[in-house]
């Protein structure tokens, strides 16, 4: 086995790889950018080497610096993790050219699967069904539109070099085409430096099901069963599980065979994932399953496969790279139980999944679950990398049991100081549809629609939210001197905020666990008991969830409120004034944002590039730009003023 391995990555996956290396007595070498100088992966590794500034292009994507670090430290192999350089064939080639082992497939295999249109052609030739679509080199967007009209709407525009859900746009009709094309190709330019687009027939109620495959240098290739990754937001996976619920053995066998057909067609080596899309509008059958793409690396959600097979996939990767045969033959790989993974991301769900950035002041993670995490208290979440904070993985003998464990574990988990999607994850796990395995990629729109910002919450939603806040403060034994100290003698007010509107609810306490809540003329008696929070006779614990300064209520949709916490005040400034303020730090691109210019509602004034994404700042109403504070192409902070507009018309 290798004596030492350099891990060309960061975050949870770097920590995950180090764990296996430690167990196998392999020395680990971490690399880090300036933003990561205190990061956990640098502490866990035997050696850590700085590779440059925070910007990934100058550090985690800088091939020369990473190779230099490997040579200086004498690393025998490089594990690329996922994202970053993991699917870059030039990197894999350069590593090998320098006499270092690349832990992954040969550069040629990465290249073959790297562009989605080419991968589809290879799959089709191997007898794997693919979706109707179109792509030609240097094709004009007018020609692409013609093809879209021919295929019929809805269609999906996709960046051929895409990954991580970026550069994908659903187009519902001809009139949406050009605007969608421009947005998607711009996003693709930013994320992949390649603007080539293809179109594909859009499947309306799809499930994303993928097959883990593994190959070695001796012609052995096996599958490690399937995973369902249908719970997504913005075409990015949020919850993944293995095995996939509610599909027949016949469908499973079909998927395994199709995945191996493709892997065999390219003599695949190492860990890979063949992704499929299935039409789930009716029962899934083998005529309605198509190849999507192949990822030639370890997948974020490899954990659920490990849980049900009892294998360590990083160890398998290391063994294959070390020219050993696959540890097990197909017949000897068995499944036991069910496993579900949830991705905790730093983002403000109701603000369009806007990344949340800042210092983490508390980390609490479930004790009953497998946790893959790299964030520690006082770490900063920066705008430079993507928003995945940690993964929670629950395993049970049945799916039902895994869901129960996950739900319990999520309720015990918290990242303080930043906004996270934990409330949303709990909401998903607890819906009857998820529990029945009635899932598809449109799950969030179908079952947890966000109520329109303009739709007012009902009194009962407000009471539920306020009761949860009281519960939270009591449970947390918050600082009783800060406004909540006189509950017992006086009435207190809980201020909930949603879409710029403040709702004041009155709390009056009878004793430390019984109180009345009043909003307008609705009064409810609330009780905190060891069995949960009751309003009247109803146990409402499963409907409400508090996390940090957010409280969420699940009642025909997800209602989220914030409650006053001083440190977030600056974020609200943009909503209450005529200022254009970026909520995220990043690189500012002004668009015709000039003093004295008249702009109409919705007109784009600026973009901020952060966390590999682009955030748009638009005029909230018809108005005049009175002052511009920021300069084009500059790095701005969260909360920094960009422009001031005239009063709303």
Active site residues: 297
In whole angstroms, the minimum distance from the beta carbon of 13 to ligand ADP comes to: 9
Residues 215-234, one symbol each (x = binds ligand ADP by CB under 6 A, - = not), give -----------------x--
In sequence order, what DSSP letters do the residues of 603-625 get, joined into one string?
-EEEEEEETTEEEEEE-SSSEEE
Q: Residue 300 binds which one of ligand ADP, Mg ion, none, with CB within 5 to 8 A depending on kind?
A: ligand ADP
In whole angstroms, the minimum distance from the beta carbon of 186 to ligand ADP comes to: 16
Asked if 373 contacts 379 with a C-beta cutoff of 8 angstroms, the reply is: no
What residue is closest to ligand ADP based on CB? 163
Cα–Cα separations (whole angstroms), residue 428 to 451, 484, 554: 16, 32, 10
Residue 277 as a binder of ligand ADP (CB under 6 A): the answer is yes
Residue 162 as a binder of ligand ADP (CB under 6 A): the answer is yes
Token pair for residue 342?
């949830």
Residue 417 as a binder of ligand ADP (CB under 6 A): the answer is no
- Which range in 44-52, 160-168, 484-492, 537-545 contacts ligand ADP by CB under 6 A? 160-168
Q: Residue 59 binds which one of ligand ADP, Mg ion, none, with CB within 5 to 8 A depending on kind?
A: none
Residues 82-111 that bind ligand ADP (CB under 6 A): 82-83, 87
Residue 441 as a binder of ligand ADP (CB under 6 A): the answer is yes
Q: Are strands 522-529 and 598-599 parallel, antiparallel or unpaired?
A: unpaired
Beta strands in 439-521 (DSSP E): 492-498, 501-511, 514-519
Q: Give the separation between CA 292 and CA 286, rounded to whole angstroms.
A: 15
Token pair for residue 263?
């892997």
In whole angstroms, the minimum distance from the beta carbon of 316 to Mg ion comes to: 21
In whole angstroms, the minimum distance from the beta carbon of 293 to Mg ion comes to: 5
In whole angstroms, the minimum distance from the beta carbon of 281 to Mg ion comes to: 21
**Which residues are bridge partners to 503 per DSSP?**
496
Token pair for residue 348?
């403000």
Q: Residue 1 binds which one of Mg ion, ligand ADP, none, with CB within 5 to 8 A depending on kind?
A: none
Residue 341 as a binder of ligand ADP (CB under 6 A): the answer is no
Q: Which is nearer to Mg ion, 51 or 294 (CB)?
A: 294
Residue 446 as a binder of ligand ADP (CB under 6 A): the answer is no
Per DSSP, the three-state class of 567 is helix
Question: Which of the 8 DSSP states describes residue 131?
Answer: -
Cα–Cα separations (whole angstroms), residue 367 to 307, 361, 420, 532, 593: 16, 19, 19, 20, 50
Residues 289-308 that bind Mg ion (CB under 5 A): none
Residues 173-192, one symbol each (x = binds ligand ADP by CB under 6 A, - = not), give -------------------x
Residue 237 as a binder of ligand ADP (CB under 6 A): the answer is yes
Q: Give the separation between CA 624 and CA 630, rounded to whole angstroms.
A: 17
Q: Give the separation between CA 319 and CA 307, rounded to whole angstroms.
A: 19
Asked if 106 contacts 320 with a C-beta cutoff of 8 angstroms, the reply is: no
Q: Give the separation between CA 376 and CA 71, rounded to whole angstroms.
A: 30
Token pair for residue 439?
């899932």
Name residues whose C-beta falls within 8 Å of residue 365's C-beta, 6 or more positions apart in sequence.
371, 373, 390, 392, 412, 413
Q: Which is nearer to ligand ADP, 188 or 494 (CB)?
A: 188
Among 33, 42, 185, 236, binds ligand ADP (CB under 6 A): 236
First CA to last CA distance, the chain: 70
Instruction: Indicate the burial class of 297 (C-beta count within 10 angstroms; 0-12, 13-18, 19 or more).
Output: buried
Instruction: Indicate the burial class of 344 (C-beta count within 10 angstroms; 0-12, 13-18, 19 or more).
Output: buried
In whole angstroms, the minimum distance from the beta carbon of 273 to ligand ADP comes to: 7
Q: Which is nearer to ligand ADP, 52 or 167 (CB)?
A: 167
Residue 169 as a binder of ligand ADP (CB under 6 A): the answer is no
Q: Residue 168 binds which one of Mg ion, ligand ADP, none, with CB within 5 to 8 A depending on kind?
A: ligand ADP
Instruction: Indicate the burial class of 438 (C-beta count within 10 angstroms; 0-12, 13-18, 19 or more).
Output: middle
165 backbone dihedrals φ, ψ, rounded to 5°: 75, 5
- Which range in 72-80, 143-151, 159-167, 509-517 contacts ligand ADP by CB under 6 A? 159-167
In whole angstroms, the minimum distance from the beta carbon of 458 to ligand ADP comes to: 33
Residue 168 as a binder of ligand ADP (CB under 6 A): the answer is yes
- Which range in 203-211, 264-272, 371-379, 577-585 contacts ligand ADP by CB under 6 A? 203-211
Question: Which of the 8 DSSP states describes residue 211?
Answer: E
In whole angstroms, the minimum distance from the beta carbon of 166 to ligand ADP comes to: 6
Asked if 528 contacts 471 with a C-beta cutoff of 8 angstroms, the reply is: yes
Best CA proximity match to 609, nearest among 324, 383, 337: 383
Residues 261-280, one symbol each (x = binds Mg ion by CB under 5 A, - = not), give --------------x-----
Q: Which is nearer to Mg ion, 202 or 563 (CB)?
A: 202
Token pair for residue 152?
């019929």
Residue 202 as a binder of ligand ADP (CB under 6 A): the answer is yes
Among 5, 148, 203, 251, binds ligand ADP (CB under 6 A): 203
Q: Give the separation between CA 375 and CA 61, rounded to whole angstroms.
A: 22
Residue 28 as a binder of ligand ADP (CB under 6 A): the answer is no
Residue 386 as a binder of ligand ADP (CB under 6 A): the answer is yes
Residues that bind Mg ion (CB under 5 A): 275
Residues that bind ligand ADP (CB under 6 A): 82-83, 87, 131, 156, 162-165, 168, 192, 200-203, 206, 208, 232, 235-237, 275, 277, 292-293, 295, 299-301, 386, 441
């Amino acid at each position: 086995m290798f004596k030492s391995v350099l891990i060309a990555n960061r975050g949870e996956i770097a920590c995950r790889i180090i764990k296996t290396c430690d167990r196998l007595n392999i020395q680990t070498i971490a690399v880090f950018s300036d933003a990561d100088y205190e990061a956990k992966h640098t502490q866990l590794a035997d050696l850590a080497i700085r590779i440059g500034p925070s910007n990934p292009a100058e550090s985690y994507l800088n091939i020369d610096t990473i190779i230099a670090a490997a040579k200086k430290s004498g690393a025998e192999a490089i594990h690329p993790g996922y994202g970053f350089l993991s699917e870059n064939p030039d990197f894999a080639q350069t590593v090998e050219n320098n006499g270092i082992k690349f832990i992954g497939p040969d550069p040629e295999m990465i290249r073959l699967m790297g562009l989605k249109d080419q991968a589809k052609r290879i799959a089709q030739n191997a007898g794997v069904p693919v979706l109707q679509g179109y792509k030609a080199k240097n094709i004009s967007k007018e020609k692409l539109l013609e093809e879209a009209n021919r295929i019929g709407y809805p269609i999906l525009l996709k960046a051929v070099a895409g990954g991580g859900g970026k550069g994908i746009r659903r187009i519902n009709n001809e009139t949406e085409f050009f605007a969608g094309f421009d947005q998607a190709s711009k996003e693709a330019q930013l994320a992949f430096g390649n603007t080539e687009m293809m179109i594909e027939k859009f499947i309306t109620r799809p499930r994303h099901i993928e097959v883990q495959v593994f190959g070695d240098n001796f012609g052995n290739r096996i599958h490690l069963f399937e995973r369902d990754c249908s719970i997504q937001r913005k075409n990015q996976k949020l919850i993944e599980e293995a095995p996939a619920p509610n599909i027949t053995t016949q469908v499973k066998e079909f998927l395994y065979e199709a995945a191996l057909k493709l892997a065999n067609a390219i003599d695949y080596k190492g860990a890979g994932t063949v992704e499929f899309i299935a039409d789930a509008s009716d029962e899934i059958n083998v005529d309605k399953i198509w190849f999507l793409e192949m990822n030639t690396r370890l997948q974020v959600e490899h954990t659920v496969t490990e849980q049900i097979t009892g294998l360590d996939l990083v160890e398998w990767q290391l063994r294959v790279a070390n020219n050993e045969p696959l540890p097990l033959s197909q017949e000897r790989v068995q499944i036991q139980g069910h496993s579900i993974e949830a991705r905790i991301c730093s983002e403000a769900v109701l603000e369009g999944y806007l990344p949340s950035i800042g210092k983490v002041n508390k980390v609490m993670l479930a004790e009953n679950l497998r946790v893959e995490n790299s964030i520690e208290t006082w770490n900063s979440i920066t705008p430079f990398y993507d928003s995945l904070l940690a993964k929670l993985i629950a395993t049970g003998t049945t799916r039902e049991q895994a869901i129960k464990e996950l739900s319990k574990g999520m309720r015990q988990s918290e990242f303080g100081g930043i906004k996270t999607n934990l409330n949303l994850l709990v909401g998903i796990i607890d819906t009857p549809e998820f529990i029945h395995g009635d899932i598809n990629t449109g799950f969030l729109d179908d079952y947890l629609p966000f109520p329109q910002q303009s739709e007012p919450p009902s009194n009962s939603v407000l009471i539920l939210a306020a009761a949860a806040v009281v519960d939270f403060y009591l449970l947390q034994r918050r600082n009783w001197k800060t406004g909540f100290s006189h509950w017992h003698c006086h009435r207190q007010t809980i201020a909930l905020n949603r879409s710029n509107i403040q709702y004041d609810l009155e709390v009056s306490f009878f004793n430390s666990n019984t109180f009345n809540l009043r909003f307008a003329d609705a009064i409810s008696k609330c009780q905190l008991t060891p069995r949960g929070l009751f309003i009247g006779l109803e146990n409402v614990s499963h409907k409400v969830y508090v996390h940090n300064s957010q409280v969420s209520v699940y009642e025909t949709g997800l209602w989220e409120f914030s409650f006053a916490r001083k440190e977030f005040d600056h974020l609200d400034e943009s909503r209450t004034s005529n200022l254009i303020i970026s909520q995220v730090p990043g690189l500012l691109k002004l668009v015709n944002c000039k003093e004295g210019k008249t702009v109409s509602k919705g007109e784009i004034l600026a973009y901020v590039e952060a966390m590999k994404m682009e955030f748009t700042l638009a005029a909230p109403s018809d108005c005049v730009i009175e002052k511009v504070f920021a300069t084009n192409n500059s790095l701005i902070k969260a909360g920094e003023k960009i422009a001031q507009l005239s009063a709303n018309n």
